[in-house]
């Protein structure tokens, strides 16, 4: 099934999938806001509404942070690491990507 997502929606859904895989839960709206470099959590709420309308996520009070992922997109720790480095204004060199990806993987193992 091919999802028709904007680039921001895809980035958010990939981040949700990666965070869920690493931590066993979706991130808070504040963590999503920081990751996407948005000025307010209302932008995240709007994007979650759009992902919900497209059948990618569902709001669910039984899950921590109230989200359940219905449609997963392939994502690797390296992809999330590279994106995070770029957003932070750091050099996304292969060495930096490997370090951040390893830290993400290690954090998920805890």
| Confidence band for 102, pLDDT divided at 50, 70 and 90 | confident
Q: Rounded to whole angstroms, how far apart are CA atoms 23 and 5? A: 24
C-beta separation of 82 from 70 below 8 A? no
Q: Are residues 5 and 43 in the same domain?
A: yes
Q: Are residues 30 and 14 in the same domain?
A: yes
Please compute the mean of the pLDDT values over residues 39-66 and round it to a whole number: 90
Q: Are residues 88 and 108 in the same domain?
A: yes
Q: State whether the Cα torsion 61-62-67-68 is positive or negative.
A: negative
- The β-bridge partners of 68 are 58
The total domain count for the chain is 2
State if pTM tops 0.95. no
Q: Are residues 58 and 89 in the same domain?
A: no
Structure tokens at 100: 């951040």
Q: Which segments of the chain does DSSP mark as H helices, in order?
A: 7-23, 29-36, 41-53, 77-87, 94-109
Given a cut of 70, whether residue 68 has pLDDT beyond it is yes
Give me the domain span that covers residue 96.
76-110
């Amino acid at each position: 099934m091919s999802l028709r997502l904007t680039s921001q929606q895809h980035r958010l859904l990939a981040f949700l999938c990666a965070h869920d895989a690493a931590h066993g839960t979706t991130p808070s709206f504040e963590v999503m806001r920081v990751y996407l470099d948005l000025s307010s959590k209302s932008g995240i709420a709007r994007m979650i509404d759009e992902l919900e309308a497209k059948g990618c996520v569902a709001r669910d009070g039984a899950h921590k942070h109230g989200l359940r992922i219905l449609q997963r997109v392939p994502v690797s720790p390296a992809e999330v690491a590279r994106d995070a480095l770029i957003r932070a204004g750091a050099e996304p060199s292969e060495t930096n990507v490997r370090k951040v990806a390893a830290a993400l993987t290690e954090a998920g193992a805890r």
